[in-house]
Amino acid sequence: MPWHFTTFRSKTWLLASLLSLALMGCNQNLEAPPATEAVQPVSTDTPIPTPIDPASESAFLSIEENGYAHLFLFRSLNMQLTRITTGSWSDIAPALNPQRTRLAFASDRDGDWDLYVMALETGEVKQVTNTPQYDSAPSWSPDGQWLAFETYVNDNLEIAVVNVDSGETVPLTQHPASDHSPAWAPDGRNVAFISTRGGDSDVWLANLDLAGEDRYKNLSNTPFASENFPLWNRDGSQLLWSSISQTIGYSGLYAWNVATPDRNAYWIGDGNVGSWNEAANRVLAAVSAPNQTFLTSYDLEGNILFSSIPLTGRVRGIAWGSLDLPAQLPETFIQAAADVPAVLWAPIVTPAGDVPNQRFAVVPINDVQAPFPQLHDLVDESYNALRLRISQEAGWDALASLENAFVPLTTSLEPGMDEDWLYTGRAFAINSLMANAGWMVTLREDIGAQTYWHVYIRCAVQDGSMGEPIHNVPWNLNARYDLDPRTYEQGGDYAPVPAGYWVDVTSLAYAYGWERLPALPTWRTYYKGARFTTFAATGGLTWYQAMQELYPVAALTTPTRVLAPSLTPTNTPTLTPTIRPTRTPRNTPTPVYTPTITLTPSETPFPTLTPTPPTVIPGG
């Protein structure tokens, strides 16, 4: 028999019940009120399912564009995406109320991250929380009067609830682990959430009818995977979540059946964010490729229901349900849909009459510390725009010091990097010393058989006005040096979730045309092979095509490199090496072990072993 919605007898009992949930992570063994006093079944009979009209099925998605996340309306019938919010801020984590009349979400539109509720009939938006700390990931109570949400307090993510009308807030969790992404079950007596209390990010279930440690159950229990975005279906019989696994073939969307609680969750399909439809027989999913996000849908057997739709950026939440929207959308929706996203940058080609065969030159990037502070003439404006944006978002100039920018063909990189994008002038590598200083962290993401990284930079101002907290555990590449054979073989280990507010460099870089690169197959035993700080503006070119924009074909096929008279680069293709004929050409140049940070200094200073302290932007 399906689980029914429950009604609360009074506000007094609800507060008591919510306070009982505050045991999460505490050592007190308080008991929750008996279930017979807590709930009243709506009906003792099995309800007759209401037919679902596909025309009324609509989804609300938070999608990043131009480095901001906006809300979009997706109509299942006509497969169209319509922007319904816009502005120089982000709206994330949409959640439909049980009555399908209001949409809760989180936004930093007023400078701080707070919760808001939108009336779907009129588009009117009401602010629910008003605090300096980060509030996000709302989940409705069965009666639609309360929101469970994640909040950043005491340098940690915790879970609380707030009354939608009065703003009265009750804290729920107090645990040193990161507790976030609550999902309030339709029965009112269970709350699913993500927690790192087991070492990595797992799905946990809190049963209010139990006490002590019996109250909590680890539903996913995956040692080498990070779970996210738990969501109940309409009747509470199944729980959906996403998983990013460090083991090949196990990432995607999973569903856990309440009727068989001791059985493992079953895999539905690829995806890193998912949502049930009203009848819970289909799932809408955002699927992440290495540098692109797509929207698709599955049935419960994993069959794909429509072709993937490419999106402008990362998906920050999905809410799918059957609702009656007005024939004429609210005026705020229409205005947002008509907004045209601004162009973030445009290439400006520097005139250079001595460049042969219409090839491009590399040009200097000003005020940047790097062995060769130059980039391809078609991408330097994009880099400068990205650098300015990160400076504004993080409060300091994180891209003023690079481990590498352009690398001349006369300079050898480490083994395995003979065809690295740094040679093309279309790539840069952030100074990895910032990771040792605690100003940069990376999260591991295995996509298919390749490993990618998500890079975050710490904000200079930690009052909640910049950045967001990191939710999941990062990957510590330096753990391989702890003399533990296990961590050495797996290329590191999980690290505790760092405190503070951070800027997502990977997502911002993508908005400006810069892609992350996969780690080399040897990255577990070869630190440089991780390439976790390298971004490339490929422009849809292959490496060989990009190299031909700078060099003649002969320079790429002749294996012997001859050092130029000076290591000081120029902004013209005079960097093309002198061709020396060889008796037996080889396809792969012999690598020369020349550390890039120990080259003879030119007029441009090199980065030191001590990271440059961040420069706080006035008024940031």
Check residue 352 and give its pLDDT: 66
Mean pLDDT of the chain: 83
Check residue 213 and give its pLDDT: 76
Check residue 600 and give its pLDDT: 34
Q: pLDDT-based confidence at 339, cuts 50/70/90? A: very high
Do residues 186 and 236 touch, judged by C-beta distance below 8 A?
yes
Q: pLDDT-based confidence at 418, cuts 50/70/90? A: confident
Q: pLDDT-based confidence at 620, cuts 50/70/90? A: very low
Check residue 224 and give its pLDDT: 81
pLDDT digits (tens, 9 = 90+) for 104-115: 999 999 999 999
Check residue 576 and give its pLDDT: 42
pLDDT digits (tens, 9 = 90+) for 582-612: 444 444 343 333 333 333 333 333 333 344 4
Residue range 277-292: mean pLDDT, rounded:
94
Check residue 200 and give its pLDDT: 85
Residue 44 has pLDDT above 70, yes or no: no
Higher pLDDT, 135 or 349: 135
Residue 198 has pLDDT above 50, yes or no: yes
Sheet arrangement for strand 179-184 = 179-184, 190-195, 202-207, 216-218
For the CA atoms of 415, 420, 424, 430, what is the dihedral angle to 10 degrees? -100
CA distance 497 to 442: 11
pLDDT digits (tens, 9 = 90+) for 142-153: 999 999 999 999
Looking at the chain, the whole-number percentage of residues with pLDDT higher than 90 is 66
Q: pLDDT-based confidence at 357, cuts 50/70/90? A: confident
Task: Tell me which of 164-168, 533-537, 603-607 is least confident.
Answer: 603-607
DSSP string, 449-514: TEEEEEEEEE-S--SSSSSB---S--EEGGGGGSS-HHHHHTTSEE-PPPPS-EEEHHHHHHHTT-
Q: Please name which of 391, 365, 367 lies closest in space to residue 614, comparing C-alpha atoms.
A: 391
- Residues counted in the chain: 620
Looking at the chain, the whole-number percentage of residues with pLDDT higher than 70 is 80
CATH tag for 11-38+56-338 (out of 2.120.10.30, 3.40.50.300, 1.10.420.10, 1.10.600.10): 2.120.10.30
Residue 235 has pLDDT above 70, yes or no: yes
For the CA atoms of 447, 448, 450, 451, what is the dihedral angle to 10 degrees? 30
Q: What are the residue boundaries of the structural domains of the chain, listed by start?
A: 11-38+56-338, 356-598
List alpha helices for 129-198, DSSP H: none
Greatest mean pLDDT range, 428-442, 480-494, 549-563: 428-442
pLDDT digits (tens, 9 = 90+) for 541-565: 999 999 999 999 888 875 555 544 4
Check residue 36 and give its pLDDT: 28
CB-based contacts of 348-355 (< 8 A; 24+ apart in sequence): 348/381, 349/377, 349/378, 350/377, 350/571, 352/377, 352/571, 352/572, 354/572, 355/572, 355/573
Check residue 216 and give its pLDDT: 85
Q: pLDDT-based confidence at 121, cuts 50/70/90? A: very high
Residue 80 has pLDDT above 60, yes or no: yes
Residue 415 has pLDDT above 50, yes or no: yes
Interior/surface letters 308-328, b for 16+ CB within 10 angstroms, e for the rest? beebbbbbbbbbbbbbeeeee
Do residues 275 and 233 touch, judged by C-beta distance below 8 A?
no
Check residue 54 and give its pLDDT: 53
Higher pLDDT, 248 or 484: 484
Higher pLDDT, 319 or 249: 319
pLDDT digits (tens, 9 = 90+) for 9-40: 344 345 545 545 443 434 333 233 333 233 23
Residue 56 has pLDDT above 90, yes or no: no
Check residue 560 and give its pLDDT: 53
Q: Please name which of 44, 42, 45 lies closest in space to residue 98, comparing C-alpha atoms.
A: 42
CA distance 298 to 262: 25
Check residue 535 and give its pLDDT: 98
